[in-house]
Structure 1
Amino acid sequence: MILDNRGLQPPQPMMRTLSALEDLESGQQLTIINDRRPMFLFPELDDQGHKYEVKEQEDGSFAITITKHGVA
């Protein structure tokens, strides 16, 4: 699943991301694309036990792939 958050102002990207994660099953992945590095999202993902990988794109945006944690 890909969620394009470009063009949105904070806190909309973070709220959309967390809402989308709620709909996923444990182990599923969500890729988000943000205009900027979502610094406030990372501590929330860490607190919830999700894994994530950040890649800066050529256009300066960031693609973050999040793997949902949870009990299978």
Structure 2
Amino acid sequence: MNRIDLRQLPAPEPLTRALAAADALEPGHVVEVLVPQMPVPLLEMLEERGLRWRVETCIDGGVWVAILRPAQ
């Protein structure tokens, strides 16, 4: 499982990099991204792509998002 910390990047870099990582996922694989704030646009785009996700707020700042491409 890959983890990418995007919290220190200026907008729109966290969104574009998280989407690129999600688009590169093989079926059945997961990527974790750390972003600076609740990524509502990202979550909507993941839904449109048929990807699953889970979100949690980080105690040290930002938001953790796990993105899964379902196995086919």
Letter in 2 for 1:53: R
Determine the structure 2 residue equivalent to 1:55: 56
Alignment of 1:33-52 (within 5 A): 33-52=34-53
Specify the SS of the correspondent of 1:40: helix
Runs of 4+ in 1 over 3 A off after TM superposition: none
Letter in 2 for 1:51: R
**TM-score, normalising length: structure 1:** 0.87
**TM-score, normalising length: structure 2:** 0.87
User: What's the C-alpha RMSD, in Å, of the aligned pairs?
Assistant: 1.3
Gaps of 5+ in 2: none
Alignment partners' CA distance in 1, 2:63 and 2:30: 16
1:24-57 C-alpha deviation (Å, 9 max, x unpaired): 2111000000111111101100101111000101
Alignment partners' CA distance in 1, 2:37 and 2:56: 11
Letter in 1 for 2:32: T
Determine the structure 2 residue equivalent to 1:4: 5
Identity %: 27
Alignment partners' CA distance in 2, 1:52 and 1:22: 13
